[in-house]
């Protein structure tokens, strides 16, 4: 990284609120770093989009993000976006470190005693050959049960905050049961939105005797390593910086409709809500 960039922000990007678990974990370990979260609600959801459409959209949007915020590092906290467009983004922005989030298939495969794991994600994620290539690399004899759960993505994005523990549990239990019923003893949460339901997945998994895997810690440690590697960390004496969320939209009026909801989300996580919309 270039010198003099310590005060530039670290950006967490997702189609909605999926980056919140990653940003919260990172912030807990790096209180003084300036964090910006971007929720691309203007283009939510990403799962049904083709790889070509999503790649073009993200490259175009990242030009806007880089111009606005001049980040020193970006965490692409979306499995769908990472699998579809990470390579293209790195090619388009060769001087910008971009950490992708890919499904935690490797640890799940290595931990599976039944040699069968489940991968739960968006349609785009579970259809990508990358999932099978990753599994074959670390456990070619391991069976992979791939399941798309677009309804659960919508639930996490729109209902998670207001849903009680019982409602959340009932939303995830059928998926854990289905994975276990198909012979798997490990489940990879391959959509960042599902990490908001990790406690409920863990409870459901315990009943089914399966293990849950996600990429939060690995992604955050990779981001920290990149900051350390090139001297990009903000000096600890600068004090705590509160993460700020910006939401994409087409105009100011569109973004104000759900502003109360975003304010409540930010309050729950201890973030601030930006006073403007990232126009697209």
Q: Catalytic residues, which ones?
A: 78, 191
Look at the block and give the residue holding tokens 């090619």. 91
Q: How far apart are CA 147 and CA 191, in angstroms?
A: 11
Look at the block and give the residue holding tokens 């785009």. 124
Distances (CA, A) of 204 to 24, 41, 125, 214, 231: 24, 29, 23, 15, 42
Cβ pair 232, 226 in contact under 8 A:
yes
Residues 6+ apart with CB under 8 A from 52: none
Helices (H), 122-164: 123-127, 129-138, 150-158
Tell me phi and psi for residue 75, to 5 degrees.
-105, 115
Tell me phi and psi for residue 259, to 5 degrees.
-60, -35
Residues 6+ apart with CB under 8 A from 190: 79, 103, 104, 119, 120, 121, 122, 125, 126, 131
Residue among 199, 274, 212 nearest 9 (CA): 274
Q: Which residues pair with 245 in a beta bridge?
A: 37, 273
């Amino acid at each position: 990284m270039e010198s003099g960039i310590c005060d530039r922000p670290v950006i967490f990007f997702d189609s909605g609120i999926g980056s919140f678990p990653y940003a919260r974990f990172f912030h807990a370990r790096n209180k003084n770093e300036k964090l910006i979260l971007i929720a691309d609600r203007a283009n939510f959801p990403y799962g049904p989009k083709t790889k070509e459409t999503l790649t073009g959209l993200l490259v175009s949007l990242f030009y806007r993000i880089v111009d606005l915020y001049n980040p020193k590092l970006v965490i692409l906290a979306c499995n769908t976006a990472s699998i579809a467009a990470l390579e293209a983004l790195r090619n388009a922005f060769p001087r910008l470190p971009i950490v992708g989030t890919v499904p935690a298939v490797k640890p799940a495969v290595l931990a599976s005693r039944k040699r069968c794991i489940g991968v739960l994600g968006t349609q785009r994620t579970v259809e990508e050959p990358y999932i099978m290539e990753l599994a074959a690399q670390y456990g070619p004899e391991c069976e992979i049960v791939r399941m798309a759960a677009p309804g659960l993505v919508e639930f996490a994005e729109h209902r998670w905050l207001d849903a009680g523990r019982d409602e959340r549990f009932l939303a995830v239990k059928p998926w854990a049961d289905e994975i276990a019923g198909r012979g798997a003893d490990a489940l990879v949460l391959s959509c960042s939105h599902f990490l908001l339901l990790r406690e409920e997945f863990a409870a459901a998994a315990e009943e089914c005797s399966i293990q849950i895997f996600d990429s939060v810690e690995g992604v955050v440690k990779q981001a920290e390593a990149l900051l350390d590697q090139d001297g990009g960390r903000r000096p600890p004496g600068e004090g705590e910086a509160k993460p700020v969320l910006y939401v994409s939209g087409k105009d100011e009026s569109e973004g104000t409709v759900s502003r109360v909801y975003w304010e409540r989300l930010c309050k729950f996580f201890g973030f601030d809500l930006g006073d403007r919309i990232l126009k697209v």
